[in-house]
Amino acid sequence: MQRSKLPYFFLGLAAVIALAALAVLVTRPGVPSKVPAAVQTLSENPLTPPSIEKPATPENPASPRTAPAAGGASADPALLVAQITQALEASDLAMLSHLIGNNALDSEKLARLTALTATPLRLRQSDGIREVGEIELNARSRWALELDGQPPGRDRILLELRRQNNQWTVEKITLPPAPDEAIPEAIPADSLDVADAFLQAVLKQDFERARSFVDPASVSNAKIAGLCILFEEGEYRLRKTKPLRSMFQRDDTAGFLAYVETSDAKQTAQFALTLKQVSAGWIVSEINLNQLLADYARRVAGGDLYYTPLVKNPGGGDTLALYFEFDKDEMNPRTRRQLEIASLILRSDPGKKITLSGHTDALGTADYNNNLSSRRADVVRDFLIKAGVDARQIVTVAKGGSQPRRPNVTETGVDDPEGRRANRRTEIYLDF
């Protein structure tokens, strides 16, 4: 008996109808793609920056509905910040809204961002994008976008990023105040802010500002001056990647490792900062420079001149130290630069006092060494006076070879030139 072909006919007809309906849905005019091409590119490959081809412009480009709540995401935080910067300089509000996301961009900040991008913005060429450091180890970081041509207090945008599931997103954005708003007093808000502000002041050799961020009871003026000297003489700069790394964060204390590199980026070193919270905010309560001092000593080792700008004072605290060649009382260029920094500190407050103590190694008679140590103290005093320091601020003493910093001989009694190099010095005790 011949089987009927009618069921096959209906199956074929149903397939044709389904295909036609699908074609109508795909080609129906007036229905835009649900995901812009740039966003699709970002989602498929977060390590490849999307082109600045603007997505379809909605009726209200500032509407938070144009961006997913989570915002853009990238496995590389530097890439995400670079994309935000690119969109910022292009005044691409839709892309900015997407990359920042609704979680960080509420209606008030969105309105401020809209006004901010109405005029084209440009970032500074040298340090337009700067990683400030970590708020939480490997989990939260802060970045600064430094705006060019803007007045102080209105020249920075801060981005706080959070890492989840190996993807970085914007957790918070801090925009500069509007033109009709007063610039708030520059009081850093948290421990990372204070650590960064302190280091930026040191980099600029701004001793007074750097001192405003420390606890004077535990961080000496000599240590701040020594750090200024190290940065200047060692040609150190903060490392571009993770310059401040969080060691610990507690309610009232925080610790960071500060990473620096030489100007050619070939060598790195580190030192530690501890901060504590007081009624006025956060302050630097301890600076451990041991590793940084050791790194610099290795770099300048050799020759007849010893160098480490900080030594412990027998009475407590730190003392600046300047070194001399054998049987010499003339200053070298490095010593003069150190004294220029010290003179800036002293000239800022005529009431400050310093004590200069001259020292020698063990070679020579006691009388000769006392005279040589006096000349070494006097030459430093004379330089400071010529630099504008009031002579009444300076006290000089000659110690001869009576207070060596290191042994002049080895354990077997053999002469130790390295130890003697450390003893030919003038110490500057900042008695304030």
Each residue's pLDDT tens digit, 355-379: 999 999 999 999 999 999 999 999 9
pLDDT band at 66 (very low <50, low <70, confident <90, very high): very low
The answer to whether 115 and 140 are in contact (CB under 8 A) is: no
pLDDT at 52 > cutoff 90: no
What mean pLDDT do residues 311-339 have? 82
Which of 96, 101, 115, 111 has the alpha carbon at shortest distance from 52? 96
pLDDT at 28 > cutoff 50: no
pTM of the model: 0.73
- Topology of domain 37-54+62-174, per CATH? Nuclear Transport Factor 2; Chain: A, (3.10.450)
The predicted structure's pLDDT at residue 186: 55
The predicted structure's pLDDT at residue 302: 56
The predicted structure's pLDDT at residue 208: 84
pLDDT band at 41 (very low <50, low <70, confident <90, very high): very low
The predicted structure's pLDDT at residue 293: 85
Distance between CA atoms of residues 304 and 226, nearest Å? 22
Cα 382 to Cα 343, 390, 391, distances in angstroms: 11, 10, 9
The predicted structure's pLDDT at residue 39: 34
pLDDT digits (tens, 9 = 90+) for 191-201: 999 999 999 99
Element (H, E) at 178: none
What mean pLDDT do residues 11-23 have? 51
Distance between CA atoms of residues 209 and 172, nearest Å? 28
The answer to whether 427 and 311 are in contact (CB under 8 A) is: yes
The predicted structure's pLDDT at residue 370: 96
The predicted structure's pLDDT at residue 55: 37
At residue 138, what are phi and psi to the nearest 5 degrees? 60, 15
Distance between CA atoms of residues 155 and 82, nearest Å? 17
Tokens representing residue 396 in the block? 């000089």
Tokens representing residue 159 in the block? 């981005």
pLDDT at 334 > cutoff 80: no
Q: Where in the chain is the domain with CATH 3.30.1330.60?
A: 302-431
Tokens representing residue 86 in the block? 């690119």
- Summary mean pLDDT of the chain: 81
pLDDT digits (tens, 9 = 90+) for 260-300: 998 887 778 999 999 999 988 899 999 999 888 888 877 76
- Topology of domain 191-297, per CATH? Nuclear Transport Factor 2; Chain: A, (3.10.450)
pLDDT band at 185 (very low <50, low <70, confident <90, very high): low
Query: Which of 16 and 178 is assigned the larger pLDDT?
Result: 178
Tracing tokens 């080609």 back to the chain, one arrives at 27
Q: What is the 3-state secondary structure (H, E, C) of 262-314?
A: ECCCCCEEEEEEEEEEECCEEEEEEEECHHHHHHHHHHCCCCCCCCCCEEECC
pLDDT at 3 > cutoff 80: no
pLDDT band at 336 (very low <50, low <70, confident <90, very high): confident
Q: Which amino acid is at 6?
A: L
The predicted structure's pLDDT at residue 187: 56
The predicted structure's pLDDT at residue 277: 94
pLDDT at 24 > cutoff 80: no
Which of 259, 84, 58 has the alpha carbon at shortest distance from 161? 84
Share of the chain above pLDDT 90, in %: 48
Cα angle, residue 352 at apex, residues 351 and 354 outer, rounded to 5°: 140
Query: Which of 295 and 381 is assigned the larger pLDDT?
Result: 381
Share of the chain above pLDDT 70, in %: 79
pLDDT band at 381 (very low <50, low <70, confident <90, very high): very high
Query: Out of 3.40.50.1820, 1.10.3720.10, 3.30.1330.60, 2.60.40.10, which CATH number does the structure's domain 302-431 have?
Result: 3.30.1330.60
Query: Which of 43 and 401 is assigned the larger pLDDT?
Result: 401
pLDDT at 46 > cutoff 70: no
Q: Where in the chain is the domain with CATH 3.10.450.50?
A: 191-297
